[in-house]
Structure 1
């Protein structure tokens, strides 16, 4: 081999190495956080927060945000959650058990306590050395002092929201979480899917000019013997408004009032909706979720019709009584409840829509666990 050939080979090898290195740097290969990975974001409480990304160790102030976190992170979600609040297990045992079936390691995630019960521990969170602490907007006011202490300890705190503005903030919260977890593409896909599903309702509701049906919604956690709370203009109340209904509790100053039975009988709503989940404390409560059968849930729903005076209500007489999974009030798949409400309020305009299928599709596209159970319920058997 002559000298010129050796030079050509050497130059070719150097160019090859440089090309490979360039492709490596331009790829999506995970990089360890450095000072150059620090970003500044605005959370759902309007707070400006700077932190390093991607966050690898996360504490969820509310474990009920597991659905969104797992959808963004995928199969490895449990490796990033180093602590969480106890509320998922306490308020939605079906969802907790469904995740535990496939990912039994979630039982070992440390409990950092609850803001609502006064058991939250700043010291516990600090001991877990997280890169990020998330908290729902509904806990923000009562947690301000704890947030300040966490930030003084160098732990970034991000407020997210799936409840106060349930049809505006979920995609914003998912996109924000995607940025912080280094999963922007995935988060944008979820947000796009969400917006497509809600626009099915908005595009049709905008064309409907008929009188709005009156609606009563109740959280069914206390069971059929005791009235549970209703909602004014948050949570379920907002979903009623946006799906074209007239909420009979809409003018209450309380966010979650428990109405007087006489008030309900006087208003005589066109539609009654009871939310359900796995609430073992009240055996007669409406149960919906991953481990429920439609016929069993329907029998529980019928129990509410035996309340004094309900036989006189036109919603009962016309069988316009429905059930919806309570988690749809504060999760990314609340578009299914929006679709169900619109279909119940305007049957002819939404007769081609299957809200339950929308929840199944979400699981197939984004969730690391499988769809099962019953989430949307009609008193009338199909």
Structure 2
């Protein structure tokens, strides 16, 4: 493994070209070999590197496909191998902005969190998982969703390096908030892919797809999600601003909300809503505390409160079939005296949404539910329950889950 936080000066300066070169992409795929800085690696990158070598194109940081500090014929060979799926290693930029080289193929994976476990199942690589976070083995919602992992060894809740080394993984996959000293895991590649902030999820999923040799599977995932996002965007884009749902989203704790960078802030945007805290300045993960008076002043049309994962002492999602906890949480918000004059409370537009379908790569499900909640007339023909079921059947088929019979994902439940 090679890890570098710095690139050569000439190449590093060229990252600013990304907005010009990759104007058609929603993001720049963080893999060395993506020379033209779009959202994939293909023949266009080969052509771009040829132009760089000839001196007719400016170098970009990702044009150095083999990450050796030079752009030459070896980079063309590496890009060709990535395209053909014959590369022996691949260098990526992870969620902690670390440059990481992974030796391929990856055969043994230790998983440090639920979000990454979801991604691995979507990509069809659960048979490579050799150990998992303690949370995946002890928390009710994780146990319900990952029955196939329950007999695997634990690597602890905060990553026990000795436990990781004991299972001899090629790769430790985790989210960046869990800190691990690389020197304590010799021979193990550490890759941070958060998978809980929807704004970055497609990029992270594509990176993992290349790392695991599952590019076709990740494209199936994208092909499922994008038409749903497109339909919602097209239908809500024509709405005048005063007709768009103004939304206050509340995470764990009273009056903790998310900006546009928060874990659920982007879902509000994708569903066509206006997050009233979108442009505020929050913490590193996009959360901030607000005053009830501010909410009263903003007067949102809808309040969305997150539930489950034992946060705010609630159960929701795949761990239960009982709506009692979600109902109690909704009643609690409706009865907050300081919110009595807020439009959403006066009109009873308080919705409870499960974390299970929001804070991981399955977030497309939450977007479908939210669009229906925000604009029931506009999306009269949108059936989020059917979308949810189709998604599970396609990407989590081993669960055999029947959404119509099990789970509590939105309260009040949606009647199509």
TM-score when normalising by structure 1: 0.74
For the pair 1:56 / 2:107, whether they are aligned, the reply is yes
Whole-Å separation in 2 of the counterparts to 1:228 and 1:263? 10
CA distance in 2, matches of 1:210, 1:159: 38
Q: Does 1:217 align with 2:252?
A: no
1:43 aligns with 2:90: no
Q: How far apart are 1:278 and its partner, in Å?
A: 4.1
Q: Deviations over 1:271-307 (max 9, x none)?
A: 100111141x754x36333422457633542232122
Q: Is the 8 A contact 1:356 1:376 kept in 2?
A: no
1:82 aligns with 2:142: no
Given that residues 60 and 135 in structure 1 are in contact (C-alpha distance below 8 angstroms), is that contact kept between their aligned partners in structure 2? Answer: yes
Deviations 1:166-224 (A, max 9, x none): 14x323322332333333322221222122222222232333233233211112x55xx
Residue 375 (1) aligns with residue 404 (2): no
Q: Report how many aligned residue pairs link the two structures.
A: 320
In structure 1, how many angstroms separate the alpha carbons of the residues matched to 2:226 and 2:145?
26
**2:112 is the counterpart of 1:95:** no
Corresponding residue to 2:364 among 288, 313, 335: 335
**Following TM superposition, by how much is the alpha carbon of 1:381 offset from its aligned partner in structure 2, in angstroms?**
7.3
Residue matched to 1:10: none
The structure that is helix-richer by fraction is: 1
Distance 2:353 2:171 in 1: 33
Quote the Cα distance in structure 2 between the aligned partners of 1:317 and 1:210: 22
Shift of the 196–146 alpha-carbon distance from structure 1 to 2, 3 Å rule, reads: farther
- Conserved in 1, the CA contact under 8 Å of 2:130 and 2:152? no
TM-aligned CA distance change 1:286 to 1:216, over 3 Å: farther
Q: Is the 8 A contact 1:265 1:313 kept in 2?
A: yes
CA 1:380/1:189 → structure 2, altered by over 3 Å: closer, same or farther? closer
1:33 corresponds in structure 2 to none
The equivalent position to 2:173 in structure 1, one of 114, 118, 134, is 134
Gap regions ≥5 residues in structure 1: 1-35, 115-119
Is contact 2:123-2:217 (8 Å) kept? yes
- CA offset at residue 95 of structure 1? 3.5
Cα contact 1:215–1:246 (8 A) shared by 2 = yes
User: For 1:380 and 1:131, how far apart are their aligned partners in 2?
Assistant: 44
Is contact 1:57–1:131 with CA below 8 Å preserved after alignment? yes
- The answer as to whether partners of 1:194 and 1:332 remain within 8 angstroms in 2 is no
Secondary structure at the aligned position of 1:257 is classed as strand
Shift of 1:378: 3.1
Tell me whether 359-368 or 197-206 shows the greater mean CA deviation. Answer: 197-206
The DSSP-based 3-state class of the residue aligned with 1:288 is coil
Offset, 1:314: 1.4
Task: Give the distance between the partners of 1:310 and 1:356, measured in 2 at CA.
Answer: 30
Secondary structure of the structure 2 residue equivalent to 1:332: coil
Question: Paired residue for 1:109?
Answer: 153
Alpha-carbon shift at residue 39 of structure 1 (Å): 2.2
* 2:42 alignment partner in structure 1: none
CA RMSD of aligned residues (A): 2.8
1:313 aligned partner: 342
1:229 aligns with 2:229: no
Where do 1:1-382 residues align within 5 Å?
Answer: 38-45=88-95, 46-73=97-124, 77=126, 79-88=127-136, 93-100=140-147, 103=148, 106-114=150-158, 120-137=159-176, 139=177, 143=179, 146-147=181-182, 149-150=184-185, 153-164=186-197, 166-167=198-199, 169-211=200-242, 212-219=244-251, 221-222=252-253, 227=254, 229-233=256-260, 234-250=262-278, 251-254=280-283, 255-279=286-310, 282-283=312-313, 285=314, 287-294=316-323, 297-367=326-396, 368-371=398-401, 372-378=406-412
Query: Is the contact made by 1:59 and 1:134 (CA closer than 8 Å) also made in structure 2?
Result: yes
Higher relative contact order (CA 8 A, sep 6+): 1
Q: What 5-or-longer segments of structure 2 have no aligned partner?
A: 1-85
TM-score normalised by the chain length of structure 2: 0.68
Distance 1:67 1:177 in 2: 12
Q: Distance in 1 between matches of 2:388 and 2:340?
A: 33
Following TM superposition, the consecutive aligned residue runs of length 4 or more in structure 1 with deviations greater than 6 angstroms are: 379-382
Q: Per-residue deviation at 1:64? A: 3.4
Structure 1 residue 59: deviation in Å?
0.9
User: 1:242–1:194: structure 2 CA closer, same or farther, 3 Å change rule?
Assistant: closer
